[in-house]
Amino acid sequence: GFGLVADDVGMVYRRGAQETLALADCNLNVGRGQWASLIGASGCGKSTLLRIFADIVHPTCGTATLHGLTPAEARANRTFALVSQQSTMLPWRKILENVELGLEVAGVGKSERRRAAMEAIELVGLMGFEHVYPNELSGGMRQRAAIARALTLRPQFLLMDEPFGALDEITREKLNFELLRILRETSATLLLVTHSISEAIILSDQVAVMTPRPGRISKIVDIGFGHE
Ligand code: ADP
Ligand code: ADP
C-alpha cells in the first residue's frame, strides 16, 4: 500500500435536511514520489478529496490511505502536510516564528526548529525576510512562507489546495516555476488541486480529471514529466 490511494470513495455532506453528493466511486492512485494534479470544474469535489486525505472530513464510504495509513494515522505520524489557498500565518509572529510553528506543535526543540525553519526559508527564497511580520509581505511571499512551514515537517506527502489560488495570473505563473524548483529538492509525493490546466501540466507527472458533480476520476493523463 504505497502512495496515495483512494478506493471507491464516496462523500455526502449533510447539513440539516440538505444532502450534497460531493464524490461518488472516486478512485485515485498516486505512486510514491509522483506528482499528481487534480483538475475539474468548480464544485466537482476536488477539495473534498484532498480534505479526506488530510483527515479534515471523513468519507461516507470507501477508503483513503497514505502509504497504507488511514488519514487519521497519517496525521498522527505527520506523514503529510497541507498547504491551502489562504494559509494562515499568525499576524503577531514573525515569518521565522510562523515557519517554526509546525515543528513547535510537534514538540521539536528550539535549536532544531530554528535550523529546519531557516533551511526551508532559504529553499523558498525568503532569506532576509525571516524577521518581518506576515502582513509586511506580498500574498505570494506569504504563500511561499506557508510552503516553507509545510516543508519543515519533511512530509512524505504534500497536499496542496490551490496554493496560489488567491494570486493574480502573473504572480501565479512565476510561483509555479518557483514551486517546481522547490519540490525538486524534496522527494515528497504531491497532490495538487488546481483549476488551472496549464498549472497542472507544468507541475505534474500525472493529471487526474474529475467529472462534474458528483466527482469521479474519469481520466488520468500521464505526462511523464520525469522529474527524477
Ligand atoms: P471543488 O474543490 O472541486 O470546487 P468541493 O469539494 O469544494 O469542490 O465541493 C464539492 C461539492 O460539495 C460542492 O457541491 C460543494 O457545494 C459541496 N460542499 C463542499 N464543502 C461542503 C460543506 N462543508 N458542506 C456542504 N457542502 C459542501
Ligand atoms: P511575489 O512574486 O512573491 O508575490 P511580489 O511580486 O509582490 O512578490 O514582489 C516582487 C519582489 O519584491 C519580491 O520577490 C521581493 O523581493 C520584493 N518585495 C515584495 N514585498 C516586499 C516587502 N514587503 N519588503 C521587501 N521586499 C519586498
List pLDDT tens digits, range 175-203: 888 888 788 788 899 999 998 888 898 88
Find the radius of gyration of the CA atoms of the chain.
17
- Ligand 2 atom nearest to CA at 174: 2
9 contacts 23 by C-beta, under 8 angstroms: yes
Place of cell 524548483: 181
pTM comes to: 0.88
* Upstream peptide bond of 212 is cis (omega within 30 degrees of 0): no
Pocket of ligand 2 (CB under 6 A): 136-138, 140-141, 171, 174
- Ligand 2 atom nearest to CA at 138: 7
Residue among 9, 11, 13, 46 to mutate when testing ligand 1 (max atoms within 8 A of CB): 13
Give the pLDDT score at 226.
53
Query: Which protein residue has the closest C-alpha to ligand 1 atom 24?
Result: 13
Tens of pLDDT along 206-217?
999 999 888 889
Tens of pLDDT along 100-141?
998 998 899 999 999 999 999 998 889 999 999 999 999 889
- Quick one: average pLDDT of 57-71? 98
39 contacts 208 by C-beta, under 8 angstroms: yes
43: pLDDT confidence band, cut at 50, 70 and 90?
very high
Give the pLDDT score at 4.
97
**Ligand (nearest to CA of 138):** 2
- The string over 52-91, giving b where at least 16 C-beta atoms fall within 10 Å of a residue's C-beta and e elsewhere, is bbbbebebbebebbbbebebeebbeeebbbbbbbebebee
